[in-house]
Amino acid sequence: MNTRSLSFRLVAWYAGLLTIVFVALGGLTLILLRHYLESALLDTQVRRARQIADTLMAAVARTGEAAVPGEIEDLYSPEANDRFIRIARADGTVIYVSGKPRDGSFEPAAVPAAPASRDPILVRKENLRTGSLLIGAVTYPAGDSSRYRVEVGVSTERTDQTVQQVLLLLAIALPIAVCVAVSGGFVLVRRALKPVDALSAKAAQITQLNPSERLPVSRTGDELERLSVALNQMITRLEEAIQSSKRFVADASHELRTPLTVLRGELEELAQDAQLREHTRESLGSMLEEVDRLSEVVESLLALSKLDAGEANAEWVRFDLAELVASTAGQISLLAEDKAIAVVCEAPQPVPVEGDRARMKQVVVNLLDNAIKYTPRGGRVLLRITRDGAQAVLEVVDNGVGIPAEALPHMFKRFFRVDNSRSRDQGGAGLGLSIVKSICAAHGAQVDVTSIPGEGSCFRVRQPLARGTSADVIADS
């Protein structure tokens, strides 16, 4: 699962917050429950203490203190009821204390004496080694100046058990509740975000080639509808921009090509006149060469604009890049032989790709021509076509002059020249590599260059293999 997806993050936050809220609520419930149970118990202890005091202490005057233990045992049998009862004089002298309870939950002798207080009713919780004891104490004036204190207590074991049961219940119920809430939330979030997947899938399909397509708009009146409407408006603006760029290309084509045709025609007509003087003939030739160069620049720029505008490639076919490179190298070989440059083509296996064959051929021609141009006599140019995973890799390696490191990042920029004086002699307007890059971009391919000055350069084109080729790679290797 993609942990960065919006639905995952929403649900994770939701689950986290829900857990925190549930735990806090559960904790609060437990604390309140314990408090409520204990105060209820304390109230009972106080009531009982008062009862004992009322019925017994009133009789002390008649029967004497010695009769008290017997009376209490008879009336209340505290050991059997797991109760704690202690009666003491005001000075702290204990006249009765109950025995060890049947369940052994506390040791009556170990219960500390009640703290000195003038309050007639006092409640407290004693934490003993064996457990806690809730004690209610009543101070009772016995006719004369002496006073007695009656303490009645009970172990918290029962309340603790109750609280633990509730805790157990919560511990089971809470994760289930969180799970149910989270899965419900997940379903809701998925349903709410489903249109987003549809939007992004459609948006990924819209390129310069089909700018008239639009995203689906869900008529739900929610944020997603607003988003898709806004995106569609943006695509409309982009489409207009592409249209106007295409129109510009068409207009510029006409405006530049027509005068060039006239210029070339007039000059050609003159140049072929046999009566010309040598000097005039040379001048006309020179002008024609400039017209050629200008035409070439115009054609290259228009080709680049068209590639930028994403003009549909009508001839999209599947072909073998290795075969294309080998045959192109064959056609261009004389150019290399002329400079005694050895062109070696390494293509161990077919490398099927998809694209406009003529344009990819231009990539090969431009790269190869460049390599030959900048490699001195007797040099070597290596063409290597391999597969790397799902990609076709074409490398054009030469052992020529190389490219200075500071020029490398600019190699594919329009009109860029490494060295003005030298490359102008070699012809070309500095657009060849830009065209290579634009063609590659139109094919989803990347082109890059590495070079060591004085040792040579390597231009590398990475293009996705034709669909359904990956299986062959495994078979081949």
Partner 1 sequence: MRILIVEDEKKLCELIERALKAERYAVDAAPDGSAGWGLAESYDYDLIILDLMLPGLSGTELLRRIRRRNHQVPILILTAKDATEEKVQNFEAGADDYLTKPFAFAELLIRVKALLRRGSVSRASVLRVGDLEVDRLSQHVKRAGKRIELTPKEYALLEYLAANPGRVFSRTMIIEHVWDQSFEGLTNIVDVYVRHLRGKIDDPFPTKLIRTVRGVGYGLGENPDA
* Residue count (the chain): 477
**Is there binding between residue 97 and partner 1 (CB under 8 A)?**
no
Q: Strand (E) positions, 92-251? A: 94-97, 121-127, 132-141, 147-155
Residue 352 beta carbon to partner 1: minimum distance, rounded to whole angstroms: 19
**Is the Cβ of residue 53 or residue 324 nearer to partner 1 in the bound state?**
324
**Is there binding between residue 264 and partner 1 (CB under 8 A)?**
yes
**Is there binding between residue 176 and partner 1 (CB under 8 A)?**
no
**Is the Cβ of residue 268 or residue 388 nearer to partner 1 in the bound state?**
268
**Is there binding between residue 286 and partner 1 (CB under 8 A)?**
yes
**Is there binding between residue 288 and partner 1 (CB under 8 A)?**
yes
Residue 476 beta carbon to partner 1: minimum distance, rounded to whole angstroms: 29
Stretch that binds partner 1, among 72-80, 157-165, 311-319, 450-458 (CB under 8 A): 311-319
**Is there binding between residue 280 and partner 1 (CB under 8 A)?**
no
**Is the Cβ of residue 133 or residue 436 nearer to partner 1 in the bound state?**
436
Residue 295 beta carbon to partner 1: minimum distance, rounded to whole angstroms: 5
- The 8-class DSSP code of residue 418 comes to S
Q: Are strands 352-356 and 380-388 parallel, antiparallel or unpaired?
A: unpaired
Q: Which two tokens stand for residue 213?
A: 């397509």
Whole-angstrom CA distances from 287 to 260, 263, 292 are 12, 10, 9
How distant is the alpha carbon of residue 241 from its chain centre?
32
**Is there binding between residue 342 and partner 1 (CB under 8 A)?**
no
**Is there binding between residue 292 and partner 1 (CB under 8 A)?**
yes
Find the binder of partner 1 among 89, 361, 380, 460 (CB under 8 A). 361
**Is there binding between residue 258 and partner 1 (CB under 8 A)?**
yes
Helix and strand counts by DSSP (H, E) for the chain: 11, 12
Q: Which two tokens stand for residue 5?
A: 């997806």
Stretch that binds partner 1, among 97-105, 128-136, 291-299, 417-425 (CB under 8 A): 291-299
User: Dihedrals φ, ψ of 95, to 5°?
Assistant: -105, -20
**Is there binding between residue 362 and partner 1 (CB under 8 A)?**
yes
Q: Are strands 147-155 and 83-89 parallel, antiparallel or unpaired?
A: antiparallel
Residue 326 beta carbon to partner 1: minimum distance, rounded to whole angstroms: 15
Q: Which residues pair with 172 in a beta bridge?
A: none
Q: How many CB atoms lie within 10 A of CB 405?
A: 10
**Is there binding between residue 332 and partner 1 (CB under 8 A)?**
yes
User: How many angstroms separate the CA atoms of 349 and 456, rounded?
Assistant: 26
Residues 124-163 that bind partner 1 (CB under 8 A): none
Helices (H), 68-115: 68-76
User: Dihedrals φ, ψ of 382, to 5°?
Assistant: -110, 130
Stretch that binds partner 1, among 5-13, 21-29, 288-296, 392-400 (CB under 8 A): 288-296
SS3 content of the chain, % helix, strand, coil (to 5): 55, 20, 25
Amino acid at 89: R
Helices (H), 146-156: none
Name the residues that contact partner 1, by CB under 8 A. Answer: 250, 253-254, 257-258, 260-262, 264-269, 271-272, 274, 281-282, 284-289, 291-292, 295-296, 299-300, 311-312, 314-315, 328, 331-332, 334-335, 338, 358-359, 361-362, 364-366, 369, 427-428, 432
